[in-house]
Structure 1
Amino acid sequence: MDFYLMLGIFVFSVLFFVGTAFLMRRNCQRYLGIIFLIRTKYGIKFIEKASKLPGWKFIADFAIVASLSGIGALYLSSQGRAKNLSVIFLIFGLFACFINFHTIELFIAGLLFVLLVAAIIRKFPNHYLIFVVFSVLIFTIASKGYLIIFPHAQMEILTTLPMSILISIFGLPAFIIGALTTHAFEIIFAGSEIPGVSPMLPSIKDGEIGLGFLGYEGIFIPIWYGIIALIILLTSHEISHGILSYVHKINLKSTGLLTFGIIPIGAFVEPDEEGLKKCEGYKRMQIYVMGSFANFVVAMTGVLLLTLLVSAAYSPDNGMLVGSVMNNSPAYYANLSEGTTIYKIDNENPWKQLQNLSQNKTLNLETNKGNRTLTTTQHPNIEGRGYIGITYSVPINKGLQNFENFIRILTELLGWIILLNFLVGITNLMPISPFDGGKMIEEVIASLNLNEEIVRHIILAIIGIVLFLLIINASPILKIISEIF
């Protein structure tokens, strides 16, 4: 085993046991002997100061529409939030024009229409008009976004159209149910052995300690990346709940962390339950929605930082860096090796040349280790495509070589922060309690002033559907566990 790996395991073990012993001596509330609930009032002071900044109620209203789409707009309209809705419509409208209209004439026409509708919403608010225009607007965004994320679905109108309609009306909870339903069909009818939902558990890969997901061997989060990402995720999520609680004059009893030993596995703010129950429904809704919205903001900020970092540190103009070389491949017989930089292929940019690579083609490679010549073969997985047998990446810019390890670590950390925040943000909008999404759906249903018995049956039906889908999506885990033991 590598010396540094052994040293890392030793240091981590010492810190874990010393930290756990320290928590035991502090008389923290404990569960199962090693899970600690650490309460503190220090976070409350920060939350109180942050809550005094302007704009939180508007941000929360925006988050409700972003999360629940048409029914979110309908709910806010019924709560007298039309002024904020007109501005939110304008923001969504600008974004819709940007992604859908690619000529200046269409963009200006779309923008004028958006401004007109925003003015009508502000001056003559009507609940059902607001529901319709927001649903249509978000449909234009959802359908375009779906095709951007899943370009192979261009012709699958039976998939994209219903999903886009459901998202435009019911928001991200509909996306969750749609995704779970799609994967449930794959498990039942196509025999998929990949779980649709999977817990994140401690894992070891190649002697390294980290976090992983059952059934997803390709996803392994090194332990320190995981801890840092979880701290950022949990802190932003819970602080956002706390800030909106203070905005609405609901006191916090405490804040704190839930830890496994010294490893954070949860965070919390503890609002005054009586105050939360007595406040108006839309205020509770704003408090519930801010946790997931904070996770999405962190994820998008991470994407922006990662984009800036990668664009500043790497450039395809520097060539192509060879990662690994497959045995008995054309690259193997041409003596290409890991770490080689390919500057040109047939006097052209290597990235451009590899886009449409055909088989049985002779290539002349200019590299930092001399010129190489090879002939492509048939790709083992893609019919009619050429194959040279390497993995590759973009080399770092000159002048930054001394910082390459730091940039690589920062890039990987940002990647895990983005992934975990997105996953938790989406999961937390699942439309069943105790998830925030379930509490939000209950508030929306309660605002319809239906008979209590009808409300109870609607909520039970939603819970039943989601639990059934979760069981089907988790079923492959049983086979994975049986194979392990």
Structure 2
Amino acid sequence: GPGLITYVIYAITILAGFSGFLILSLLIGAETILWSIIQFASSPSTSAAGAIANQAGVAPIIPGIDIPLFAGVISIAVLLIIHEFSHGILAKRAKVKLKEIGLLVFGFIPIGGYVEPDEKMVEKLDRTKQTKIFSAGVAANFIATIVFFLLMLAFMMYLFPAMQINYHYNVVVASTVPNYPANGVLKSGMKILEWNNVSMTNLSTQSSVSAALNAAKATDRPNATVSIVTNTGSYKFKAIPSTSNSSIGLIGISIGTEYTPVINGWYAHAAYFLFTIFALSMLLNFFVGILNLAPIPGFDGWRIYGANIKSQKFINFVGALIIILIIVNVLPWFFYI
């Protein structure tokens, strides 16, 4: 069952909410990364640098997943409109004058919205009304997350089966293991086209992915040459014995899968385009909602904390701590080799 640390994480999330969970996650990530950096400083090596690079940290993208441009722009526009106009609606309900309200445009394409309440009027409100205005955007983001998730489910359960939209599965490198041959050579997100001459592309099901991997790894023995063809080039590695079973040869990569839809007809393309917008909007609203709860200057959390906690020094300390933790969690990106 779950260990002590898991229960501690549950407790902090329940008691301190998403802000507490965010801070705890950054603390755990920072501790692991700093320990890896200390080891690298005491004994610099390729494997030690690789160990840092393979820490989770924070990432600007999901390895192996490309974000479509138009769907991405629309999703960001939806995110900003939901967030900003929610602040405006709550401000108007509190009888606060809106100094400015409008759309952000790129050329003639709307990419978001903005609302600017009268800050002097907001400051005169009681703490409860201030908190409602400041937290409106985050609350709207979480509600939007649920709505977009339900829309995704409806598409997957009812619309896609009726349109007979299928998927092709491909194999990607999720991560590499320190002190193994592939570490420092293969990178997260690389697409594996062939493994020991076994094709890893356009597989029809997850079961066929497993079958292809099993067939490819069947000849992976200690000291055997393992041939990997990726979207960036071909590589050969000498397998080394597994620490748990000396008869098995490993090169030290963790495998992930990505899928691409097989779509026929304009209506199916339109449906999948909408589904992509729903999926991106769900993710963006969820993560922006969580991040905005952090007490960082310029974020909603900073103003929520400021309206409810009298000690500005404490708020400044927590904000500075989170910024430092985020910087530490970004460090693995400087150790990719």
Task: Give the TM-score normalised by the residue count of structure 1.
Answer: 0.47
1:260 offset after TM fit, Å? Answer: 6.0
Partner of 1:412, secondary structure, is helix
- Match for 2:314: what amino acid? I
- In structure 1, the residue matched to 2:194 is 327
Q: Distance in 1 between matches of 2:111 and 2:32?
A: 32
Asked whether the equivalents of residues 323 and 390 of structure 1 are also in contact (C-alpha less than 8 Å), the reply is: no
Q: Distance in 1 between matches of 2:112 and 2:166?
A: 42
Q: Distance in 1 between matches of 2:130 and 2:65?
A: 36
- In structure 2, the residue matched to 1:467 is 323
Q: Distance in 2 between matches of 1:441 and 1:249?
A: 22
- In structure 2, the residue matched to 1:123 is none
2:278 counterpart of 1:414: yes
- Listed one character per residue, the Cα deviations across residues 218-238 of structure 1 (whole Å, up to 9, x for unaligned) are 343222112101110000101
5 Å-filtered alignment, 1:140-289, equals: 154-157=1-4, 159-190=5-36, 191-193=51-53, 196-197=57-58, 213=60, 216-258=62-104, 267-289=113-135
With a CA cutoff of 8 Å and minimum separation of 6, indicate the structure with the bigger relative contact order: 2
Asked whether the equivalents of residues 295 and 315 of structure 2 are also in contact (C-alpha less than 8 Å), the reply is: no
For structure 1, the 5+ residue unaligned runs are: 1-153, 199-212, 343-349, 361-373, 447-454
Partner of 2:27, secondary structure, is helix
- Listed one character per residue, the Cα deviations across residues 378-415 of structure 1 (whole Å, up to 9, x for unaligned) are 79999999xxx99786988xxx9533322332222222
Which of 158, 178, 203 lines up with 1:312 in the alignment?
A: 158
1:323 offset after TM fit, Å? Answer: 3.9
1:313 offset after TM fit, Å? Answer: 3.5
1:354 offset after TM fit, Å? Answer: 8.2
- Listed one character per residue, the Cα deviations across residues 240-260 of structure 1 (whole Å, up to 9, x for unaligned) are 001111111111111124556
1:197 offset after TM fit, Å? Answer: 4.0
2:312 counterpart of 1:456: yes
Percent identical across equivalent pairs?
28
Q: Distance in 2 between matches of 1:324 and 1:218?
A: 10
Asked whether the equivalents of residues 195 and 474 of structure 1 are also in contact (C-alpha less than 8 Å), the reply is: no
5 Å-filtered alignment, 1:375-414, equals: 377=218, 401-402=264-265, 403-414=267-278
1:286 offset after TM fit, Å? Answer: 0.3
Partner of 2:64, secondary structure, is strand
- Match for 1:296: what amino acid? F
Q: Distance in 1 between matches of 2:159 and 2:128?
A: 45
1:425 offset after TM fit, Å? Answer: 1.0
Greater per-residue helix proportion: 1
Q: Distance in 2 between matches of 1:277 and 1:164?
A: 35
Distance 1:393 1:434, change over 3 A: closer
2:290 counterpart of 1:426: yes
- Listed one character per residue, the Cα deviations across residues 192-214 of structure 1 (whole Å, up to 9, x for unaligned) are 3267345xxxxxxxxxxxxxx37
Asked whether the equivalents of residues 322 and 390 of structure 1 are also in contact (C-alpha less than 8 Å), the reply is: no
1:471 offset after TM fit, Å? Answer: 2.1
Asked whether the equivalents of residues 167 and 175 of structure 1 are also in contact (C-alpha less than 8 Å), the reply is: yes
- Match for 1:472: what amino acid? V
- In structure 2, the residue matched to 1:44 is none
2:141 counterpart of 1:295: yes
Distance 1:390 1:260, change over 3 A: closer
Asked whether the equivalents of residues 79 and 112 of structure 2 are also in contact (C-alpha less than 8 Å), the reply is: no
Task: Give the TM-score normalised by the residue count of structure 2.
Answer: 0.65
| The structure with more radius of gyration | 1
Q: Distance in 2 between matches of 1:312 and 1:435?
A: 39
Partner of 2:100, secondary structure, is strand
Distance 1:471 1:320, change over 3 A: closer
Distance 1:185 1:266, change over 3 A: farther
1:457 offset after TM fit, Å? Answer: 2.7
Q: Distance in 1 between matches of 2:116 and 2:202?
A: 53
1:167 offset after TM fit, Å? Answer: 1.7
Q: Distance in 1 between matches of 2:280 and 2:264?
A: 23
- Match for 2:136: what amino acid? M
- Match for 2:151: what amino acid? L
Distance 1:172 1:311, change over 3 A: same
- In structure 2, the residue matched to 1:40 is none
1:217 offset after TM fit, Å? Answer: 4.5
Distance 1:319 1:407, change over 3 A: closer
RMSD of aligned residue pairs (Cα, Å): 4.1
- In structure 1, the residue matched to 2:236 is none
1:461 offset after TM fit, Å? Answer: 2.1
Asked whether the equivalents of residues 168 and 202 of structure 2 are also in contact (C-alpha less than 8 Å), the reply is: yes
- Greater than 6 Å deviation, 4+ residue runs: 357-360, 378-385, 389-396
Partner of 1:279, secondary structure, is coil
Asked whether the equivalents of residues 319 and 394 of structure 1 are also in contact (C-alpha less than 8 Å), the reply is: no
For structure 2, the 5+ residue unaligned runs are: 37-50, 172-192, 221-225, 227-238, 249-254
Distance 1:161 1:429, change over 3 A: same
- Match for 1:419: what amino acid? L
Q: Distance in 1 between matches of 2:117 and 2:216?
A: 67
Distance 1:407 1:192, change over 3 A: farther
Q: Distance in 2 between matches of 1:175 and 1:270?
A: 30
1:337 offset after TM fit, Å? Answer: 8.2
Partner of 2:324, secondary structure, is helix
1:428 offset after TM fit, Å? Answer: 0.8
Aligned residues: 270
- Listed one character per residue, the Cα deviations across residues 48-74 of structure 1 (whole Å, up to 9, x for unaligned) are xxxxxxxxxxxxxxxxxxxxxxxxxxx
Q: Distance in 2 between matches of 1:171 and 1:302?
A: 22
